[in-house]
Amino acid sequence: MPRYMVAVGMGDKSTLYAEVWVQPQIRLWQVNASAVGDSDQRWHDKTDTCHHGITEESKTETKIMVASSSFCSNLSTMPEIIFATSNAHKTQEVAAMLGDVWNVQSLCAYPGITLPEETGTTFEANAVIKAVGASVALPGLLILADDSGLEVDALNGEPGVYSARYAGVDATDADNRRKLKDELRKQASNSGLPFLGRFRCCLALVRDGQVLKATHGAVEGSLRLQEQGSGGFGYDALFQPVGYEDTFGVLSAEVKNSLSHRACAMAEMKAWLAGNLMP
């Protein structure tokens, strides 16, 4: 499958802003557009095998998507942070929280990088392990990593740092939610309702293997036995934050990004970035 790369710059200093994988009749693109706003996401169809500003690895007569020069110009002025994950949902959340100041890329742009195993017993330890691991492979770049999870009081803090693999190493989000509901039902007669808990998050910022900053955030709430909503990811459909009648699976992204554990940790990180690394 041919790949087209939209780039702005000169020679070795060119910066990759978007990758477009093209098949006849299928157009898919990956670009960090969330940080510049919908008004600047101007894409144009172009039927051609070559176009100014695009390099080709394989030629084919098919329709491709080409970023407008104004869109690329906006990106060219934004400092870059690599978010050490391939999780698209998390990356979108982080890009939205950082706003139009930072160009947030995920590890999807670096498919050859494998993060080390998360062997820490705390969220901070695992966030640092991931950030340092990516930093070693990407010297000179700012690396941001998070580790987050759900703590349920009735389950003695489980699933905790094992939240992503609660039902097993290869478990899906649905598998993890199913196990959580099963465990909560076992406790229903002893603990009563609601099941109190919280999401926790730690963000670690690293460059060249050195930890620059670590921040923490938490959001309190309760766990339901029945899922509500299909938004978000992970345990969102089971978690009802304090002060709201709906779960994160129903609440809008704007509401979630204003009060979530990741939002709390990001607010402190964003302030630190503004005071220490912005020109």
Q: Which residue has the tokens 């003695």?
A: 156
Catalytic residue among 38, 147, 182, 236: 147
Q: What span, in angstroms and rounded, lies between the C-alpha atoms of 148 and 203?
A: 9
Dihedral sign of CA atoms 151, 156, 160, 164 in order: negative
DSSP element (H, E) containing 240:
strand 239-241
Please provide the distance, in angstroms rounded to a whole number, between the alpha carbons at the two ends of the chain: 40
Edge-first strand order for the sheet with 210-223 is 103-106, 80-83, 142-152, 195-207, 210-223, 239-241
**DSSP label at residue 68:** -
68-74's contacts with Cβ under 8 Å and 24+ in sequence apart are 68/42, 68/43, 68/44, 70/40, 70/42, 71/33, 71/36, 71/40, 71/41, 71/42, 71/43, 72/6, 72/8, 72/17, 73/8, 74/36, 74/40
* Cα 83 from chain centroid (whole Å): 7
Q: Is 208 among the catalytic positions?
A: no
Q: Which two tokens stand for residue 50?
A: 């070559």
- Largest pairwise CA distance in the chain: 67
Q: With contact defined as beta carbons under 8 Å apart, do 113 and 136 qualify?
A: no
Tokens of 134: 């990516």
Q: Given the DSSP bridges, would you call strands 80-83 and 142-152 parallel, antiparallel or unpaired?
A: parallel
Residues carrying an active site annotation = 147
